[in-house]
A and B are shown apart, each in its own frame.
Chain A
Amino acid sequence: MDAELKRAILLDHYDKPHNHGLYEDIRYKGLNTASDSCIDDLTVQCLFEGDIVKDVRFDGVGCTISTASTSIISDLIKGKKKEEALHIIEEYYKMIREEDYDEDLLEEANAFDTLSKQANRIKCGLIGVKAMEKLIRESLDEH
């Protein structure tokens, strides 16, 4: 992906993050990501219906990379089957590990295809995504 396009995508998701703002709805499962290694403090929520990730929300303080990555991946997995959502997340991890991955599946998340070059920012690109993964896996364990 071209650098200017990537910059535009990331700016857009940072300025106006999608799925932003938490719901006070007990059907949503939430997870806080405050981590010791960085100053981001995001909370991610998922609503599951059967085997579908019906909705994803997030909020909190985060840098450009954590905010944009959480926003982009939340868009990608919303409405997908849990297994599909986990597959997308796994492809995203592969991209960040610099392994072969399915570019088509990641759409706007391809904006992070050079994140691995900045070792000290990789965790920013993972913080919200890992929370989504954890929430999905926990919901699978419950059944």
Chain B
Amino acid sequence: MFDVMKIRQDFPMFKNNPGLIYFDSAATAFKPQPVIDAVTDFYTRHTVNTHVGDYDLSHYVSGLFEETRETLRRFLNARDAHEIVFTNGATSALNLAAYGWGAKHLKEGDVILLTEAEHASNVLPWFKVTEMTGAKVEYIPLENDGTLTVENFRKAMHEKVKLVSVASVTNVLGYVVPVKEIAKIAHEYGAVVVVDGAQSVPHVKIDVQDLDCDFLAFSAHKMCAPGGSGVLYGKKELLEDTDPLMVGGGSNARFDLCGNLKLKDVPWKFEAGTPNSEGVLGMKAAAEYLMDIGMEEIEEYTKELNAYFVEKMQQLDNVILYNPKATAGIVTFNVKGIFAQDTASYLNTQHIAVRSGNHCAKLLLNVIGTSETVRASLYFYNTKEEIDQFVEVIKGTTIEKCIGVIL
């Protein structure tokens, strides 16, 4: 049984910040005790480097480190634990896919297909690839409400498209994108499919074999893992054909004075340098924690919260809601006549944490017709009571109160 009150007890942030309503989990998520313990254990019991097998402690930590790949493999239902590359977040994972695969395989005349709802981290690396290769970026048109349909994708797809990169849940509107159908069509054209899972992996059950995506990038810190942890999943054969972003210690099998270099196998060839071991061990604890609760349960509960939130917000006549059809815990809105930052700043005085701004998805402005919005984002530790309180505050939000923030 999903018991949110019990779950909240796992998160010290709630105890240490009584009264805080945290609706910014799309930026980063709170950490439960088992994750904190995993990090503290590393610091207090086995602070040693991985992969130096000369002593027992290192052997032990290396074991945990490599077991994390297996945990993440299970979490994503990947075929092989070696398909899990550790990165420090979605941004570095997307950059690895772009520079490591895109820049290596794309050429002049090729097309990279994105949407206008992508986060900067899933746009800018591809811009760089176009500079490097002469390939160009095209956009799949969105519906007026910002959703992406399979029909529109099919229309945008053509022979020259060699790579498609889309967020499976977008960070501003929170819509779930039909990635499985997209991958199927893209593969008929022989294109490679990259999925930005930063906002989906924390909230919905992901099965990479079922989706049949070629790469999946995500930030583990948004799913309760420590800061600076993330993953690039890639199909083995594609990873083998991907160059590392960085080379150095730990990524080479051997090299000599003449400049001959033999890289290690996948995934170690991508992980040059001493790794963020505490982040990786914390990520293992986070994935286990989420699997213990059950990703299906988390997904169900998030949907329920989201629907409840939307229903309440729709009853307010001082609110413009931009994404009533979203299901993954992101509610994007404005209070009529009030600039997003003023609203967020007023909410702050009411102990509510939300994000205002254009949320790094600057291309989307043309689609929803507004440049600034307030984003309230939920996670499975939030409650209907918090939503009720939030809605009460929004109901009473006026420009006078917003100005009052500085008086």
Contact = CB atoms under 8 A, between A and B. Distances in A.
A42 to B, nearest CB: 12
Contact of A117 (B339, B348, B356, B406): B406
B405 A121 contact: yes
A71 to B, nearest CB: 14
A6 B405 CA distance: 12
Contact of A118 (B340, B371, B400, B405): B405
Contact of B357 (A39, A65, A114): A39
B341 A14 contact: no
A1 B352 CA distance: 29
A40 to B, nearest CB: 7
A118 B402 CA distance: 12
B406 A112 contact: yes
Does more than half of chain A's interface fall in helix, strand or loop, or is it mixed?
helix
B404 interface: yes
B57 interface: no
B407 A3 contact: yes
A61 B399 contact: no
A7 interface: yes
Contact of A114 (B345, B358, B407): B407
B403 interface: yes
Contacts of B372: 39, 61
Nearest to A61: B371
B345 A39 contact: no
Given A39-B358, A39-B372, A120-B348, A7 B404 contact: yes
Contacts of A124: 341
A117 to B, nearest CB: 7
Interface in B323-381: 339-342, 345, 348, 356-358, 371-372
Contacts of B341: 38-40, 63, 124
A38 B399 CA distance: 19
A19 interface: no
Nearest to A112: B406
A11 interface: yes
B345 A121 contact: yes
Most buried by B among A39, A41, A124: A39
Contacts of A112: 406
Interface string A114-135: 1101101100110000000000
Interface in A1-58: 3, 6-7, 10-11, 14, 38-41
B350 to A, nearest CB: 14
A64 B402 contact: yes
A79 interface: no
A63 B356 CA distance: 11
Nearest to B405: A118
Nearest to B371: A61
Interface string A47-89: 0000000000000011111000000000000000000000000
Contacts of B358: 39
Nearest to A7: B403
B356 A115 contact: no
Contact of B400 (A11, A40, A65, A117): A11
B47 to A, nearest CB: 36
Nearest to A65: B406
Contacts of A38: 341, 357
Interface string B385-407: 00000000000000110111111
B403 A10 contact: yes
B283 to A, nearest CB: 29
Nearest to B372: A39
A100 B340 CA distance: 33
Nearest to B341: A63
A121 B371 CA distance: 19
B237 to A, nearest CB: 40
A11 B399 CA distance: 8
A15 to B, nearest CB: 9
Contacts of A114: 406-407
A11 B398 CA distance: 11
A11 B342 contact: no
Nearest to B359: A39
Contacts of B342: 63-65
Nearest to A5: B407
Interface of A: 3, 6-7, 10-11, 14, 38-41, 61-65, 112, 114-115, 117-118, 120-121, 124-125
10 contacts: A6-B407, A7-B404, A10-B403, A14-B399, A38-B357, A39-B341, A39-B358, A61-B372, A63-B342, A121-B405
Given A61-B371, A64-B402, 8 more contacts: A38-B341, A39-B356, A39-B357, A39-B358, A40-B341, A62-B339, A63-B345, A118-B406
